[in-house]
């Protein structure tokens, strides 16, 4: 429960957000060349002793930290220190950026041209920029943008250059190195490259962490990286990766800097460039390797309208303020700080909470367009099998209703209130005409009509591309609805309207889906309270000491919310079913193709409602959840073979599938699904359950019955 | 400052005379108003004291020569004279009677403290504000019968109710008095102490030993929860050098003697202890032992634990002392180390045998300017690595350098001021030092003339490797002189809404820079967060070097105008600063001690078991908590 204090429960309506300014506006009226050659004197960190990118290298190679590891490695591997040192130097050369201002100016010029053709506007909150400027002066700054597109880091550097702020150094995946010229160009504009995996390579890790830390400590430039690790193909935030975050806050924990400011940045695209690409990838068409020629082939994207981009620089987060009372910095007093060691439990849990908090604040400051809300409605309508679509009026009415609901939940919604809702709806639809079809005043997703030349499987995949693309827009607002949606399903599933029963059911779902959505570890209780608060506030629920009651007008809200989770429930259920039927010796590698095949088979029989369950993201998350809950285990030394606990998986499938029936079977069956002390799923009998409930009081969270 | 190297006895005497003038010569010889007849046993106890003892600095009624609500002597203080210039009054110090032209500007620019906003102190103690004493009649009768002088005069009692923490002095300036001792006794020798302690045990009276009264750890504060009669045991009249042993170079001294008297008396015989804490004008030998004190010149002479050979302490269980004066023993844990740092919780130190050294023939000050603090620390580290630290080496940060500059007295001639200008030009323009970043190290060398000069060269050569430029003897000497007057400056600050204090720590070398930066920044941030309207002064210096680390001193002060409870804000900031020190690998204290101010951190500092060990010693030695100042544990 360490996250309790990091996680702050606020009234979303009170959230104040800054206004935006369009930075392309000026670019459309003045010379790009002059802009690229403007006088550029960014504010610097006050503690900065000036140093060039090349000097960083020798600082890294001579650092105590690296020298220690070099000696260690040379002893372990029986190589001379010089050899290892040379290897470290090579690693560093491969990694290091060579930031130079002329390249930045070149990008400033070309990107201006490109952005003006692609986007209607690039809107930035200027107050955020001012806060950032102040932060850069006072402390080392880490920029943490959301990651939805390759555009992200070009955009970031472009914006910072525009506002005369230090261009950041950016941790980029090694895959960019494949793009010959572009890779080098990126390097010269501040990107440094890290291998995607270097698990056991001590030397690589040491070079990498020391390189990043020296940049942080010296305040050389803001360090930028993506907490999510990779671009989210689904537009849902990804579970944060902790490696780099651990590295950058280490200098604070060890007292080498007074504080570090973490600045979450939310970049929201009205239309994502990679839209259809992502959907294909999720369906199993592998992602094309980055290459320069590929980039030029992508030129056709230049002719399309990608709407607006909103970039919101969030409130800088002080690591010092958050670590107060959570991390005892004295733990570094008794060993020299340059000797690498694994962060202890206290630090791990602090960093984990911190990462979730940052991702949540990225989510909160994402600007949602009306189209995002339309995506909810269109997908839900499609799923009920309505072949004719919705009438425009109906869609408009429902959209206005969802708009009001989302505002009550604190959405950062960019809905032009000065226009009549019908106008807003139709203009959103026109920007996304690739995904929707309007005929006879009725709107539906642009799913292709049955075609004789295609196999039914091809046809299914084509439909899925559209649905997944559309879902990626819906997903942009999932963070807003996820907690109330879990509660809505929990209320349906609970055996009674007793608060404790509802909570038990909520907590089960919460546990099940915490790989799918951003749910801070250990914060089930707070999430439950937040969901209750929001639904009471919107008038959907009435909550007394003991009971949760659905109000008269609450049914529509709860139905809408519960619907949101349906595709996920169905998907997880299918994964459970697949695992139940899977043969011995299934490996992790085989899992995704196999489960895909299995699901396609079921989809073709027409028994499933959601083509979304084809998303490999969902399938992987489901597997991760089952592994976490102990329903599936990875066998060591069998090339990732999976050992499935069939009884539990089977019970889970039932529980997920029969959410309505659950309440009636509470007292009639012998065994219950429960979590043990280590948060693993187990089956217990009624009597065991009672005993446990007696001995542990109401601390027990998940008590979902099964046959 | 030098003399030739002949070692004739008359020569030695001359050197001694000279030292007198260097260290203690500025002190007025007070008239000793104390005419009480000495208890006969005391006379008989030692052989004839080696040294004349009639001229002692500390009288029983200390308030006659010392401030009751501020630092130091009544006649010495900083004031703004009628021309509005800062001046240091009195005749005792080199700075006395001088005008300090830069100080007022510095006060205004650093703190925003202007002459218009004044907060003068209550001049005279209102004795009716002092609680009437709770006397233990049986104990008083007992003391009367022994003939040991005592008093329950309010002024005497108030003087012994505090040390010099800000929160102790500040209320006194406003005329507020808290719990004070109910009675003061002045034992004159070891046996007097034995009798006093026996009586205290018999009648269950709380004893609080009082030496120089310079504590900055709330060690002398009377615990408010104490319901027994509190008796302050003032050691100041136990101040004789009982013998000097030239063969072994030791001296046996009564523990109430204060630093300047000890040095002066030993100097008369051509010796010194070399123990010079910044408080040496007022602090006592017993106090040094009880707090594990450290002296400026420890590089040559060692800290107090290196200097003591033998300690005699009176406890409720009886007298503790070793049976011989062997220079080192392997006889289990050293019992001296229960006494060193016991902070008056176990008993009263009455007599100490200390190492002495011949007065050094030659002394030379020096200073080095560095382009920045980082280079300065690197240089000190190298000096420590080569184990060639001079008697004293201190590194001030830029703020302190500027402060030191502001304290320059008015120069006598145009020529001097021209020279100053030239020096400044050379350093900032020619050498390219940034005046807002440079910092200065002050040095003191001692020993044979040749060796000193050789040593000096070695140190300056190291300094040069770190970009250091020699900056003259004057700057160095002034730096050390300021040590003694800086405490007076706080009183001036308090006259004009500025409160502040210093605190110290010790820290491994690799963390020195980090701790300096972080603690200074923490102070600034905490002040801001707590609504301090003005930018605080947050500065530090490295004052001692060791093989494995250094001692760092922080100075912190701010203008409290606009704050409703400045003391509380101050305490919170200081608390946060100490947390920061600990989080950065610094110690709880290098030499100030724990007292009551820092005891909340003792457990984490010495571990549960460590604290238990100390507690069990206390429980054995003083089961009824007669020495009830509640320090440390």
The whole-number average pLDDT for the span A36-48 is 84
The CA-atom distances, in angstroms, between A526 and each of A510, B254, B364 are 11, 67, 68
Helix-then-strand count for chain A, H and E: 27, 19
Q: What is the DSSP letter of B496?
A: T
Q: Which residue of A has its CA nearest to B525?
A: A258
Alpha-carbon gap, residue B275 to B288, rounded angstroms = 10
Return the biggest CA–CA distance within chain B.
76
Top-confidence residue, B45 or B588: B588
Weakest-pLDDT range from A233-242, A628-637, B213-222: A628-637
Torsion of CA B223, B226, B229, B233, to 10 degrees: -30
B415 band by pLDDT with thresholds 50, 70 and 90:
low
Residue A441, chain B, CB below 8 Å: the answer is no
- Is B604 close to A336, i.e. CB distance below 8 A? no
Q: Which domains does chain B have, with CATH numbers?
A: 60-109 (3.30.160.650), 126-234 (3.30.43.10), 239-356 (3.30.465.10), 496-590 (3.30.300.330)
Residue A33's Cβ-side half-sphere holds a number of Cα atoms within 13 Å equal to: 0
Weakest-pLDDT range from A592-606, B414-428, B438-452, B467-481: B414-428
Whether the CB-CB separation of B181 and B223 falls below 8 Å is answered with no
Instruction: Give the pLDDT score at B237.
Output: 96
Choose the closest CB to B583 out of A47, A329, A336. A329
pLDDT at A635 over 60: yes
Chain A stretch 200-259, residues whose beta carbon is closer than 8 A to a beta carbon of chain B = 254-256, 258-259
Chain A contact probe: residue of B514, B604, B607 with most A CBs at under 10 A: B514
- Is B522 close to A336, i.e. CB distance below 8 A? no
Q: What is the mean pLDDT of chain A?
A: 86
CA dihedral sign, ordered B31, B32, B34, B40? negative
Q: pLDDT (tens digit, 9 = 90+) per residue, B289-315?
A: 999 999 999 999 999 999 999 999 999
Alpha-carbon gap, residue B103 to B88, rounded angstroms = 11
Alpha-carbon gap, residue A656 to B26, rounded angstroms = 90
Whether the CB-CB separation of B167 and B176 falls below 8 Å is answered with no
Q: Give the bridge partners for A166, in sequence order.
A: none
Distance from CA of B507 to the nearest CA of A (A): 10
- Is A330 close to B604, i.e. CB distance below 8 A? yes
Residue A332, chain B, CB below 8 Å: the answer is yes
Q: pLDDT (tens digit, 9 = 90+) per residue, A512-568?
A: 999 999 999 889 999 999 999 999 999 999 998 889 999 988 999 999 999 999 999
- Is B583 close to A255, i.e. CB distance below 8 A? yes
pLDDT at B18 over 90: no
Top-confidence residue, A387 or A132: A132
Residue A457, chain B, CB below 8 Å: the answer is no
Distance from CA of A319 to the nearest CA of B (A): 14
Whether the CB-CB separation of A443 and A435 falls below 8 Å is answered with no
Q: Which residues of A touch B521 (CB under 8 A)?
A: 258-259
pLDDT at B376 over 50: yes
ipTM higher than the 0.85 cut: yes
Chain pair A-B, CB pairs under 8 angstroms: 26
Whether the CB-CB separation of A246 and A192 falls below 8 Å is answered with no
Chain A stretch 304-323, residues whose beta carbon is closer than 8 A to a beta carbon of chain B = none
Instruction: Give the pLDDT score at A661.
Output: 37
Return the biggest CA–CA distance within chain A.
78
Residue B584, chain A, CB below 8 Å: the answer is yes
**Full-model pTM:** 0.89
Catalytic amino acids of B?
A: 553
Which residue ranges of B make up the annotated binding site for substrate? 490
The whole-number average pLDDT for the span A25-44 is 88
Q: Which residues of B touch A329 (CB under 8 A)?
A: 583-584
Q: Which residue of B has its CA nearest to A320?
A: B522
Q: What is the mean pLDDT of chain B?
A: 90
Judging by beta carbons within 10 Å of its beta carbon (0-12, 13-18, 19+), is residue A555 exposed, middle or buried?
Answer: exposed
Q: Which residues of A touch B514 (CB under 8 A)?
A: 254-256
Q: Which residue of A has its CA nearest to B372?
A: A49
Distance from CA of B520 to the nearest CA of A (A): 10
Please provide the distance, in angstroms rounded to a whole number, between the alpha carbons at the two ends of chain B.
Answer: 46
Weakest-pLDDT range from A78-87, A224-233, A615-624, B38-47: B38-47
Report the Cα A474 to chain-centroid distance in Å.
14
- Is A51-363 CATH 3.30.160? no
Whether the CB-CB separation of A224 and A156 falls below 8 Å is answered with yes
Distance from CA of B216 to the nearest CA of A (A): 25
Q: Which residues of B touch A45 (CB under 8 A)?
A: none
A279 band by pLDDT with thresholds 50, 70 and 90:
confident
Pick from B258, B286, B280: which is nearest to B347 by CA? B286
Q: pLDDT (tens digit, 9 = 90+) per residue, A472-512?
A: 999 999 999 999 999 999 998 887 889 998 998 899 899 99
Q: Which residue of A has its CA nearest to B517?
A: A258
Distance from CA of B368 to the nearest CA of A (A): 22
Q: Give the bridge partners for B310, in sequence order.
A: B353
Alpha-carbon gap, residue A287 to A296, rounded angstroms = 16
Number of Cβ within a 10 Å radius of residue B482: 18
- Domains in chain A: boundaries: 51-363, 532-694
Alpha-carbon gap, residue A279 to A298, rounded angstroms = 17
Distance from CA of A47 to the nearest CA of B (A): 10
Q: Which residues of B touch A47 (CB under 8 A)?
A: 517
- Is A330 close to B518, i.e. CB distance below 8 A? no
Distance from CA of B394 to the nearest CA of A (A): 23
- Is A330 close to B582, i.e. CB distance below 8 A? yes
Sheet order of strands, A681-685 included: A681-685, A671-675, A703-705
A217 CB-near residues (< 8 Å, 6+ apart): A140, A251, A256, A257
A7 band by pLDDT with thresholds 50, 70 and 90:
very low
Residue A46, chain B, CB below 8 Å: the answer is no
pLDDT at B419 over 90: no
Q: What is the DSSP letter of A668?
A: T
Chain A contact probe: residue of B381, B509, B518, B526 with most A CBs at under 10 A: B518
Q: Which residues of B touch A254 (CB under 8 A)?
A: 514
Instruction: Give the pLDDT score at A673.
Output: 72
Please provide the distance, in angstroms rounded to a whole number, between the alpha carbons at the two ends of chain A.
Answer: 32
Instruction: Give the pLDDT score at B5.
Output: 44
- Is B583 close to A330, i.e. CB distance below 8 A? yes
Choose the closest CB to A258 out of B517, B585, B604. B517
Instruction: Give the pLDDT score at A286.
Output: 57
| CA angle B576–B579–B583, rounded 5-degree value | 140
Residue A324, chain B, CB below 8 Å: the answer is no
For residue B344, the SS3 value is coil
Q: What is the DSSP letter of A2?
A: G
Q: Which residues of B touch A259 (CB under 8 A)?
A: 521
Alpha-carbon gap, residue A48 to A51, rounded angstroms = 8
Q: pLDDT (tens digit, 9 = 90+) per residue, B495-520?
A: 999 999 999 999 999 999 999 999 99
For residue A685, the SS3 value is strand
């Amino acid at each position: 429960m360490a996250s309790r204090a990091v996680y702050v429960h606020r009234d979303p309506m009170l959230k104040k957000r800054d206004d935006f300014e369009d930075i392309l506006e000026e670019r459309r009226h003045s010379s790009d060349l002059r802009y690229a050659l403007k006088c550029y004197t960014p504010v610097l960190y006050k503690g900065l002793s000036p140093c060039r990118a090349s000097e960083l290298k020798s600082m890294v190679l001579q650092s105590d930290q690296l020298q220690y590891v070099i000696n260690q490695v040379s002893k372990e591997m029986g190589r001379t220190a010089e050899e290892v040192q040379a290897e470290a130097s090579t690693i560093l050369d491969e990694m290091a950026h060579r930031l130079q201002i002329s390249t930045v100016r070149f990008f400033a010029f070309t990107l201006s041209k490109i952005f003006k053709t692609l986007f209607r506007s690039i809107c930035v909150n200027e107050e955020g920029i001012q806060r950032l400027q102040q932060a850069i002066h006072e402390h080392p700054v880490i920029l943490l943008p959301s990651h939805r597109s390759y555009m992200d880091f070009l955009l970031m550097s472009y914006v910072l250059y525009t506002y005369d702020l230090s261009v950041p150094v950016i941790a980029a995946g090694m895959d960019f190195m494949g793009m010959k010229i572009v890779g080098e160009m990126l390097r010269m504009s501040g990107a440094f490259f890290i291998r995607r995996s270097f698990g056991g390579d001590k030397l690589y890790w040491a070079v990498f962490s020391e390189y990043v830390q020296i940049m942080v400590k010296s305040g050389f430039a803001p360090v930028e990286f993506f907490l999510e690790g990779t671009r989210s193909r689904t537009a849902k935030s990804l579970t944060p990766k902790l490696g780099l975050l651990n590295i950058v806050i280490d200098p604070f924990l060890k007292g080498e800097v007074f504080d570090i400011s973490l600045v979450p940045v939310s970049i929201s695209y009205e239309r994502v460039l990679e839209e259809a690409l992502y959907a294909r990838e999720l369906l199993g068409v592998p992602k094309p390797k980055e290459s320069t020629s590929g980039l030029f082939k992508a030129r056709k994207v230049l002719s399309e309208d990608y709407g607006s981009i909103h970039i919101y620089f969030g409130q800088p987060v002080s690591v010092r303020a958050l670590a107060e009372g959570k991390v005892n910095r004295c733990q570094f007093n008794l060993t020299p700080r340059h000797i690498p060691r694994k962060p202890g439990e206290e630090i791990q849990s602090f960093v984990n909470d911190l990462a979730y908090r940052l991702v949540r604040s990225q989510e909160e400051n994402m600007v949602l367009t009306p189209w995002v809300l339309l995506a909810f409605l269109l997908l839900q309508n499609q799923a009920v099998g309505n072949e004719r679509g919705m009438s425009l009026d109906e869609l408009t009415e429902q959209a206005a209703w969802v708009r009001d609901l989302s505002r009550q939940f604190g959405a950062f919604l960019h809905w032009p209130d000065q226009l009549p809702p019908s106008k807003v709806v139709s203009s959103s639809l026109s920007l996304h005409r690739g995904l929707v079809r309007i005929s006879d005043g009725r709107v539906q997703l642009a799913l292709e009509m049955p075609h004789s030349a295609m196999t039914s499987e091809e046809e299914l995949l084509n439909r899925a591309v559209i649905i997944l693309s559309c879902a990626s827009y819906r997903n942009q607002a999932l963070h807003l609805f996820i907690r109330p949606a879990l509660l809505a399903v929990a209320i349906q599933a609970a055996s009674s309207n007793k608060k404790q029963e509802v909570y038990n059911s909520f907590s089960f779902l919460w546990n099940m889906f915490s790989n799918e959505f951003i749910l801070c570890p250990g914060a089930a209780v707070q999430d439950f309270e937040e969901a209750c608060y929001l639904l009471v506030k919107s008038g959907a629920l009435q909550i007394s000491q003991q009971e949760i009651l659905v109000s008269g007008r609450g049914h529509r809200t709860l139905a809408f919310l519960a619907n949101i989770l349906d595709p996920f429930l169905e998907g997880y259920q299918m994964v459970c079913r697949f695992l139940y039927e899977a043969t011995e010796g299934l490996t992790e590698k085989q899992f995704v193709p196999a489960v895909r095949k299995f699901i396609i088979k079921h989809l073709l029989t027409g028994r499933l409602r959601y083509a979304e369950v084809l998303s490999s993201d969902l399938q992987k998350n489901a597997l991760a959840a089952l592994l976490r809950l102990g329903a599936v285990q990875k066998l060591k030394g069998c090339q990732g073979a999976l050992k499935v606990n069939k009884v539990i998986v089977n019970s889970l499938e039932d529980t997920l599938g029969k959410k309505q029936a659950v309440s009636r079977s509470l007292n009639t069956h012998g065994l219950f699904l429960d979590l043990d002390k280590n948060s693993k799923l187990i089956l217990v009998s009624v009597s065991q359950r009672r005993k446990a409930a007696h001995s542990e009081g109401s601390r027990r969270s998940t008590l979902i019955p099964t046959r | 400052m030098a003399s030739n190297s002949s070692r004739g006895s008359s020569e030695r005497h001359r050197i001694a005379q000279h030292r007198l003038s260097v260290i203690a010569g500025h002190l007025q010889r007070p008239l000793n108003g104390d005419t009480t007849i000495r208890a006969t046993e005391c006379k008989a106890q030692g052989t004839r004291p080696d040294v004349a003892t009639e001229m002692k600095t500390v009288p029983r009624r200390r308030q006659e020569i010392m401030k009751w609500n501020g630092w130091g002597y009544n006649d010495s203080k900083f004031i703004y004279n009628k021309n509005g210039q800062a001046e240091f009054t009195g005749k005792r110090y080199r700075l006395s009677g001088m005008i300090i032209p830069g100080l007022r500007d510095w006060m205004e620019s650093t703190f925003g403290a202007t002459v218009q906003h004044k907060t003068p102190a209550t001049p005279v103690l209102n004795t009716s504000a002092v609680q009437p004493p709770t006397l233990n009649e049986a104990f008083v009768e007992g003391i009367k019968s022994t003939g040991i002088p005592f008093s329950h005069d309010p002024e005497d009692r108030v003087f012994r109710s505090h040390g010099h923490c800000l929160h102790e002095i500040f209320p006194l300036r406003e005329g507020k008095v808290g719990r004070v001792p109910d009675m003061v006794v002045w034992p004159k020798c070891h046996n007097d102490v034995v009798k006093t302690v026996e009586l205290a045990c018999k009648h269950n009276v709380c004893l609080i030993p009082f030496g120089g009264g310079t504590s900055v750890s709330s060690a002398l504060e009377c615990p408010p929860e104490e319901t027994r009669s509190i008796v302050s045991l003032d050691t100041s009249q136990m101040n004789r050098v009982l013998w000097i042993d030239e063969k072994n170079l030791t001296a046996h001294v009564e523990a109430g003697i204060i630093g300047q008297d000890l040095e002066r008396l030993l100097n008369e015989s051509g010796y010194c202890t070399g123990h010079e804490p910044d408080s040496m004008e007022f602090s006592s030998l017993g106090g040094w032992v009880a707090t594990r004190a450290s002296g400026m010149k420890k590089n040559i002479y060692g800290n107090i634990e290196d200097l003591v050979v033998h300690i005699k302490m009176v406890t409720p269980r009886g007298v503790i002392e070793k049976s011989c004066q062997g220079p080192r023993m392997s006889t289990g844990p050293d019992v001296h180390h229960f006494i060193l740092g016991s902070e008056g919780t176990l008993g009263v130190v009455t007599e100490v045998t200390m190492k002495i050294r011949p007065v050094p023939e030659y002394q030379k000050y020096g200073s080095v300017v560095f382009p920045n603090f980082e280079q300065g620390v690197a240089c000190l580290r190298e000096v420590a690595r080569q184990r060639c630290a001079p008697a004293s080496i201190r590194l001030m940060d830029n703020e302190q350098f500027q402060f030191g500059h502001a304290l320059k007295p008015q120069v006598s001639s145009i020529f001097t001021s021209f020279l100053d200008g030239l020096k400044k030009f050379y350093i900032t323009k020619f050498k390219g030092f940034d005046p807002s970043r440079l910092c200065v190290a002050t040095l003191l060398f001692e020993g044979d003339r040749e060796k000193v000069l050789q040593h000096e060269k070695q140190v300056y050569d190291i300094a040069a490797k770190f970009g250091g430029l020699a900056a003259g003897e004057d700057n160095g000497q002034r730096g050390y002189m300021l040590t003694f007057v800086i405490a007076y400056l706080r009183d001036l600050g308090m006259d004009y809404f500025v409160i502040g204090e210093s605190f110290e720590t010790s820290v491994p070398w690799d963390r020195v820079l980090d701790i300096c930066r972080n603690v200074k920044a923490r102070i600034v941030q905490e002040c801001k967060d707590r609504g301090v309207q003005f930018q605080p002064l947050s500065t530090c210096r490295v004052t001692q070097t060791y093989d494995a680390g250094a001692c760092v001193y922080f100075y912190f002060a701010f203008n409290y105008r606009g704050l409703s409870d400045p003391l509380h804000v101050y305490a919170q900031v200081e608390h946060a600063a100490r947390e920061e020190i600990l989080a950065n690998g610094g110690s709880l204290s290098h030499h100030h001690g724990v007292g009551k101010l820092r005891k909340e951190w003792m457990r984490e500092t010495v571990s549960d078991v460590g604290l238990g060990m100390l507690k069990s010693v206390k429980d054995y030695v003083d089961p009824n908590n007669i020495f009830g100042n509640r320090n440390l544990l």
